[in-house]
Homo-oligomer: A and B are copies of this chain.
Amino acid sequence: GYLEKDAIRGNDTFVTFDEIMKQAVQNEVDFVLLGGDLFHDNKPSRKTMHCCMEVMRKYCMGDRPIVFEILSDQAVNFSHSKFPWVNYLDSNLNISIPVFSVHGNHDDPTGADGLCAIDLLSCAGLINHFGRSRSVEKLEISPVLLKKGNTRIALYGIGSIPDERLYRMFINNQVTMLRPREDEDGWFNLFVIHQNRSKHGATNYIPEQFLDDFLDLVVWGHEHECKIAPVRNEQQLFYVTQPGSSVITSLSPGEAVKKHIGLLRVKGKKMNLQKIPLQTVRQFFIQDVTLSEHPDLFSPEQPNVMLKVMAFCQEKVEEMLEEAERQRLGNSLTPEKPLIRLRVDYSGGFEAFNTMRFSQKFVDQVANPKEILHFIRHREAKDNIKGKETPPQNENFVINHITPCRSKTVKALFVFGTQFKIFWMKTRSIKGMKVIVRILHLPSDVQSRLYKATGTLSVSEKNE
């Protein structure tokens, strides 16, 4: 329900949530896993709650059979619920896609009853809220144990906890992840966490090193930047996927990264995460300009310098708008008006100008006309927008090459996938899966890691 009262952007979250759940249906997933913050507000509006329930009832109910079992004690997994069992085993509900979720920091439990927004969905039988702890001193995480065929997943979760508190619990050895007694190593261990991943201070984030090394994949919620391709933590030897938010809530570079959801396939201990780009997410372009870097165009002493700067900025915005239109071409699902941000470093004697008049020019083309320009001084190097100094982004790569991929290569591909856009074709199992890759540019360091890792994977730079 972010910005739900905005005339232009008000429905963005709902539309994209609909797209995501529709993807879940189309891909015939066994379940949907949410990393928290399904809601932006602790007390979502009636409209938001209504939209959310509507989407879930529409897509998560139906006759498609659910073929995985739950082996753990559901009364433990869902002990805080009034209906402490997984929704698809409730004989009164015809669930086709169970949704599992931890709560986030935006929709965490509050009040005397310790209820949170997703508990309403849980009570309505639309969500399975897990990873909830009663203690603030000690965590004992009992996994939801899922079994389908020979594949068994131990699903661990911790709903959002203030970072400092959880950090302290980890430091004091008060976080225990229980493991199934039988065939301990036969499980695929999946962990969902909703905390700061990037360091915001000494103890208000959770270092990946804190997490148990028996884990196979960590789904990291909370962080908004989409870094969904699993990254291997070389110390702990697990992978971390950070799906990111499905809606842009701040006009910062992290949100400009193309939004994806992940389709995770697990077979035995092997996994594969397919990135699915979201079509309905509003485009967001951000660019930095430093006025003092253009001495040929203007200097602070010039008469009418402000008009020149304004024209320059206008040109930059128009460039971004053109790029947005070009990328949007043929995609009817993407909203027409993009989000545009131009950060103008006006240090060196320049003056900021009134952005109101400037905004007026773009009121019909831009979703955030009042917030296009952002005047700053002395941009620090570290805050530079990606795509300049950072490695090339997904957007630089298009797919055209098809090659069979053996299961042995799967892990390697995640490393690869962190830097390049890779699509997995939909197949039933990891074996025999196809991957389509076209590489337009491949930095040498990545290339070497790639070839080292992939083994039998063949990557081609040729066009078809």
Whether A123 sits at the interface, judged by CB under 8 Å, is yes
Q: Which of A106-137 contact B (CB under 8 A)?
A: 111-113, 115-117, 119-120, 123-126
Q: Which residues of B contact A117 (CB under 8 A)?
A: 46
Determine which of B92, B95, B115, B125 lies in contact with A47 in the assembled complex, contact meaning CB atoms within 8 Å. B115
Q: Give the complex CA separation of A400 and B93 in angstroms.
A: 45
Determine which of B111, B113, B116, B125 lies in contact with A57 in the assembled complex, contact meaning CB atoms within 8 Å. B125
Each complex incorporates copies of this chain amounting to 2
In the bound complex, do residue A83 and residue B111 qualify as a contact, i.e. CB atoms below 8 Å apart?
A: no
- What count of chain A residues pass the 8 Å CB interface test? 30
Whether A29 sits at the interface, judged by CB under 8 Å, is no
Which residue of B has the minimal Cβ distance to A96? B92
Whether A305 sits at the interface, judged by CB under 8 Å, is no
Which residue of B has the minimal Cβ distance to A119? B50
In the bound complex, do residue B54 and residue A82 qualify as a contact, i.e. CB atoms below 8 Å apart?
A: yes
Q: How many Å from the CB of A60 to the closest CB on chain B?
A: 9
Q: Which residues of B contact A404 (CB under 8 A)?
A: none
Whether A296 sits at the interface, judged by CB under 8 Å, is no
In the bound complex, do residue A57 and residue B94 qualify as a contact, i.e. CB atoms below 8 Å apart?
A: no
Given the known inter-chain contacts A54-B82, A123-B57, please indicate yes or no for A46 contacting B111, CB distance below 8 A: yes
Q: Which residues of B contact A93 (CB under 8 A)?
A: 61, 92-94
Q: How many Å from the CB of A83 to the closest CB on chain B?
A: 7
Given the known inter-chain contacts A57-B83, A91-B63, A125-B57, please indicate yes or no for A47 contacting B113, CB distance below 8 A: yes
Q: How many Å from the CB of A253 to the closest CB on chain B?
A: 34
Q: Which residues of B contact A92 (CB under 8 A)?
A: 57, 61-62, 93-95
Which residue of B has the minimal Cβ distance to A5? B112
Q: Give the complex CA separation of A94 and B95 in angstroms.
A: 11
Q: Which residues of B contact A63 (CB under 8 A)?
A: 91
Which residue of B has the minimal Cβ distance to A53? B123
Q: Which residues of B contact A112 (CB under 8 A)?
A: 47
Whether A49 sits at the interface, judged by CB under 8 Å, is yes
Interface residues as binary, A57-100 with B (CB distance below 8 Å gives 1, 0 otherwise): 10001110000000000000000001100000001111100000
Whether A431 sits at the interface, judged by CB under 8 Å, is no
Whether A43 sits at the interface, judged by CB under 8 Å, is yes
Which residue of B has the minimal Cβ distance to A116? B46
Which residue of B has the minimal Cβ distance to A124? B124
Q: How many Å from the CB of A124 to the closest CB on chain B?
A: 4
Q: Give the complex CA separation of A113 and B54 in angstroms.
A: 14
Q: Which residues of B contact A49 (CB under 8 A)?
A: 120
Which residue of B has the minimal Cβ distance to A46? B115
Q: Give the complex CA separation of A50 and B49 in angstroms.
A: 13
Q: Which residues of B contact A94 (CB under 8 A)?
A: 91-94
Q: Give the complex CA separation of A125 and B43 in angstroms.
A: 21
**Known contacts A46-B120, A50-B120, A54-B123; 12 further A-B pairs (Cβ under 8 A):** A46-B115, A47-B111, A47-B113, A50-B113, A50-B115, A50-B119, A57-B92, A57-B125, A62-B92, A63-B91, A124-B124, A124-B126
Chain A residues in the interface with B (C-beta under 8 A): 43, 46-47, 49-50, 53-54, 57, 61-63, 82-83, 91-95, 111-113, 115-117, 119-120, 123-126
Could you jot down 25 A-B contacts, CB within 8 Å? Answer: A43-B46, A46-B111, A46-B115, A46-B116, A46-B117, A46-B119, A46-B120, A47-B112, A47-B115, A50-B113, A50-B120, A53-B120, A57-B92, A57-B124, A57-B125, A61-B92, A61-B93, A62-B92, A63-B91, A92-B94, A92-B95, A93-B93, A120-B120, A124-B124, A124-B126
